[in-house]
Amino acid sequence: MAVEVSTPVFEGPIDLLLHLVNTHEVDVRDVPLAPVVDGFVAALAEGRSRYSMDVLSEFLLVAAILVELKSQALLPGPDEVEPEDELVGWDQRDLLLSRLLECRAYAAVADTLAKMAEAAACSVPRVAGLEDDVVVHAPDLLRGVTPDRLARAFAAAVAPRPEPRIDLSHVTVVDTVTVSEAVEELAVELPRRRRATFAELTEHLTAKIEVIVRFLALLELCKLGRVTLGQGRSFGQLEIEWVGEDEPVGVGALVVDEYRG
Amino acid sequence: MHDDELARAIEAVVMVALEPVSPGLMAELFEEPVERVDAAAAELARTYERDRRGFVLARVAGGWRFQSHPELVAYVERFANRDVSHRLSTAALETLAIVAYRQPVSRAQIAALRGVNVDGVVRLLEQRGYIQAVGRADGPGQPVLFGTTELFLERLGLDSLAELPPIEDYLPGPEAVVELEERLRPPGD
Amino acid sequence: MHDDELARAIEAVVMVALEPVSPGLMAELFEEPVERVDAAAAELARTYERDRRGFVLARVAGGWRFQSHPELVAYVERFANRDVSHRLSTAALETLAIVAYRQPVSRAQIAALRGVNVDGVVRLLEQRGYIQAVGRADGPGQPVLFGTTELFLERLGLDSLAELPPIEDYLPGPEAVVELEERLRPPGD
């Protein structure tokens, strides 16, 4: 189930909108994107029970592509009449499609790999090793191993294995702050401020992806009952109020949902 | 070295090894051409199979090792008192497949493909010993590049990466492309 | 069970075993009389000798085990003393570290922590004299418990285990310790 959006020229699921834009059935320049975001916020207001995190993150992906398409369509290019401009939308679509196709191939082959591993597991290798009476003059394997290195090896062996977390790497391939890191950051900053607008919280950020990650982090905090989110009027500032404890909260105390890829 | 002696030497050495023994190492030990050693090992493997032995001499991860015959897995499992198969999660398997086919590959490249953060999965696969850092990319930040390990080959019962099934066989055909495009539409539209 | 099947089952089980396998244990596994199992194993041993295999099925310490044929000891020694790895692999070092800090600890407990089968690595560390069996756990199957040796202390330049660096200094936080405790429970979760 995709998020429904409503704009003067289109009503329906957002991925259909992208499809129509890509097939040139709808001109992206005629689509105001603000109502699209309104639709998203409305969808959130209706309650998260209706939408899984997958659907919501898919919305963000599609919305990001729409924004990119529109900005490309609006910005005057060096040769506006060049027919290549026509292909811009197709490039984006093809990129998304080829990613989906490649992923599908890996998903299919992963299943085969699992079956191969299962078949291979039916044979157990011999690891009994040498008889005790064989004379071994092999070099000392512990040469260069210090107690410190041993302790580090232990720490590495028992280090918690983090579960996969969501971020929007598919929008940008630059390493960025993850949602739980942003949650951690906000959980320190918000108790100090009590109230803030989204703009204030993100004014120091330059990359769009970081702003989006802060937004997702706020949704997490809202879900955890630590903040309330409000908006005075349409297109008004997003207002955040901290309703958790007064003391800054360590992230260990916040259980952020683990998203599986 | 006589054929007989060579076969016996291979049996003796592989029997005491803890890991697959490469033909190259045996060639050095026995002072024989590597092709001859490899052919002798392959012949031994055929002999065991023909004689319906309860073990096999398998070519795994670039070397030869003794292992129990898969047909006797029930006894071996009962003996070892353990479930020999423990599956990775789907997410881990798909990530492993990407590393296997696209190595050397960076975290960001995997993430771009899978559409999610893969730090946790990559770390898990690294801890399990299925993948390892194999170098660094030239680009900004010089991200770590990952590749699969010998253990990965062993777990899959493969001799080398060349034995992985060709990924082309798994790429969706033209019909699937059309279907994928249509799946961008909601059902019933 | 047919004679053939019995022989194959013995071969498979003894091949994967770390210690000599007693006829009594096999009799239980295969649900056959112990005399029959023992006779079948002895017959196999004769077959290998007759076929001049490079390995023997030997009756040792009350059980059966595969080992290299004494006539081929020269190759086996050359193999054992080959100059390959001067250093422990990361996997081996981490396993050794777990034994050092968690002793006495069983194979299954190490495997649960490391997420992979560690039989080969434990065997290597044992054969190099860095760890040794120090007892058996009370639980089902009474698994062998491992601890480090004097040689281990010597090589690390330590007087006693008390001189190992306090592990708290290396762990990220109390949560990690809790998680560690949880994962040290026997597998089968």
Q: Where are the domains of chain B?
A: 3-72, 90-184
Report which listed range, A10-14, A193-197, A243-247, C23-27, is most confident: C23-27
Shortest distance between the Cα of A220 and any Cα of chain C, in A, equals: 21
Cβ pairs bridging A and B (under 8 Å): 186
Distance CA C67, CA C14 (A): 10
Per-residue pLDDT at B139: 73
Residue in chain C lying closest to B25 (CA): C79
Higher pLDDT, A86 or A124: A124
- What is the pTM assigned to this prediction? 0.62
Cβ neighbours of C17 in B, within 8 Å:
79
From the list C101, C92, C90, the residue with the least C-alpha distance to C163 is: C101
Class of domain C90-184: mainly alpha
Cβ pairs bridging A and C (under 8 Å): 129
Q: Do C82 and B29 touch (CB under 8 A)?
A: yes
List the single residue in A113, A122, A130 with the smallest CB-CB distance to B93. Answer: A113
Confidence of residue C183 (pLDDT cuts 50, 70, 90): low
| Mutation site for A-interface testing, chosen from C94, C128, C155, C179 by largest number of A Cβ within 10 Å | C94
| Mutation site for A-interface testing, chosen from B60, B106, B170 by largest number of A Cβ within 10 Å | B170
Shortest distance between the Cα of B132 and any Cα of chain A, in A, equals: 14
Cβ neighbours of B185 in A, within 8 Å:
15-16, 19
Per-residue pLDDT at A204: 74
Q: Do A139 and C175 touch (CB under 8 A)?
A: no
Exposed e or buried b per residue across C41-63, where buried means at least 16 C-beta atoms within 10 angstroms of its C-beta: beebbeebeeeebbbbbbeeeeb
List the single residue in B70, B90, B177 with the smallest CB-CB distance to A122. Answer: B70
Does C90-184 match C3-72 at the fold level? yes
Rg of chain B (C-alpha set):
22
From the list B174, B126, B165, the residue with the least C-alpha distance to B147 is: B126
Cβ neighbours of C94 in A, within 8 Å:
153-154, 156-157
Shortest distance between the Cα of A226 and any Cα of chain B, in A, equals: 25
Per-residue pLDDT at A246: 63
Q: Do A174 and B185 touch (CB under 8 A)?
A: no
Q: Do A118 and B93 touch (CB under 8 A)?
A: no
Q: Do B167 and A109 touch (CB under 8 A)?
A: yes
| Mutation site for A-interface testing, chosen from B65, B106, B156, B161 by largest number of A Cβ within 10 Å | B156
Per-residue pLDDT at A60: 73
pLDDT of A78 > 50? The answer is: no
Shortest distance between the Cα of C75 and any Cα of chain B, in A, equals: 7
Dihedral sign, Cα of residue B69, residue B73, residue B74, residue B79: positive
Rounded to 5°, the CA angle C177-C179-C180 comes to 60
- Residue A83: CB partners within 8 Å, gap ≥ 6? none
Q: Do C156 and A125 touch (CB under 8 A)?
A: no
Subunits touching C (CB < 8 Å, at least 3 pairs)? A, B
Q: What are phi and psi of B142, to 5 degrees?
A: 40, 60
Residue in chain A lying closest to C119 (CA): A127
Each of the 189 residues of chain B gets a pLDDT tens digit; together they read 899 999 999 999 999 998 899 999 999 999 999 999 999 999 999 999 999 999 999 999 999 999 999 999 999 988 876 555 466 788 889 999 999 999 999 998 898 888 777 888 898 898 888 999 999 888 777 889 999 999 899 989 999 999 999 988 888 777 766 766 665 444 444
pLDDT of A254 > 60? The answer is: no
| Mutation site for A-interface testing, chosen from C11, C57, C87 by largest number of A Cβ within 10 Å | C87
Dihedral sign, Cα of residue A159, residue A165, residue A170, residue A175: negative
Per-residue pLDDT at B143: 87
Confidence of residue A257 (pLDDT cuts 50, 70, 90): very low
Distance CA A165, CA A184 (A): 14
Residue found under tokens 């720490």: A155
Q: For the domain B3-72, what is the CATH code?
A: 1.10.10.10
The residues that bridge with B189 in the sheet, in sequence order, are none
Average pLDDT over residues A85-95: 52
ipTM of the modeled complex: 0.76
List the single residue in C25, C55, C71 with the smallest CB-CB distance to B15. Answer: C55
pLDDT of C31 > 70? The answer is: yes
